[in-house]
Structure 1
Amino acid sequence: MKKQVKVKPNSKNQSIEEAEDGSLTVHLKSPPVDGKANEELIQILSKKFNVSKSRIIIKSGLSSRNKLVEIDDG
């Protein structure tokens, strides 16, 4: 499954909001430095969708706030 994800780094709280169109807004505590926000994004998505971290791939937008994430929910 593919998801459009908007990332908000440096947030006070870690949370996920799902819009009506199925896209996600993810608030991350990590700063967007050295891939830390991307690592936290993969970790929080693996918990939400109950899949291992290795089954989540950021397809596009590695250095952008808007990402396309592919989740292999098998």
Structure 2
Amino acid sequence: MAPKTTKASKKEAVSANTGTTDDSPISILKSGDIAIKILAKPGSKENGITGINEEGVIFKISAPPIDGEANTELISYLSKLLGLRKSDLTLDRGSKSRTKTVTISKDCKLSLENIRDIIKSNVGK
């Protein structure tokens, strides 16, 4: 009888194959899409990335958290930052929360390493 696998062990297997760690806020999903955990701070003076930790990439968003304006602004800012179409990005989780997950289509032209490099190089700008 084969050993029972859990969601956690499957996630670890995916992480091991991609060379990422579970505490990274940017990872590859089983589907091949790339997920970015985001900690949003809406209502800021300007858009930007203020930091990265194991909980997520910390974004400041200029739009207020009213009627999804901050979510729209986040997707717009992230698409410009990465040089992707807005349709390549999807707000997967957290539409009414400051903790969000954005997925990037596996069909986009960027790799996991490219996305990490772009985000890291824009921290504090």
C-alpha displacement of 1:42 = 0.3
**Structure 2 equivalent of residue 68 of structure 1:** 101
Q: Within 5 A, what are the aligned runs for 1:23-62?
A: 23-62=56-95
Q: Which residue of 1 aligns with 2:39?
A: 6
Contact 1:8 1:26 in 2 (8 A): yes
The equivalent residue for 1:15 is 48
Aligned equivalents of 1:17, 1:71: Cα separation in 2: 21
More helix by share: 2
Q: Under a length normalisation based on structure 1, what TM-score does the superposition of the two structures give?
A: 0.88
Q: Where does structure 2 lack aligned partners over 5 or more consecutive residues?
A: 1-33, 109-125
RMSD: 1.7
Work out the number of aligned pairs and report it.
74
Letter in 2 for 1:34: D
**Superposition misfits of 4+ residues, deviation over 4 angstroms:** none
Q: Which has the higher strand share?
A: 1
SS in 1 for 2:96: coil
User: How far apart, CA to CA, are the structure 2 residues paired with 1:6 and 1:49?
Assistant: 18
Shift of 1:20: 5.2
Query: What is the CA–CA distance in structure 2 between the aligned matches of 1:18 and 1:55, rounded to whole Å?
Result: 23
Q: TM-score, normalised by structure 2?
A: 0.54
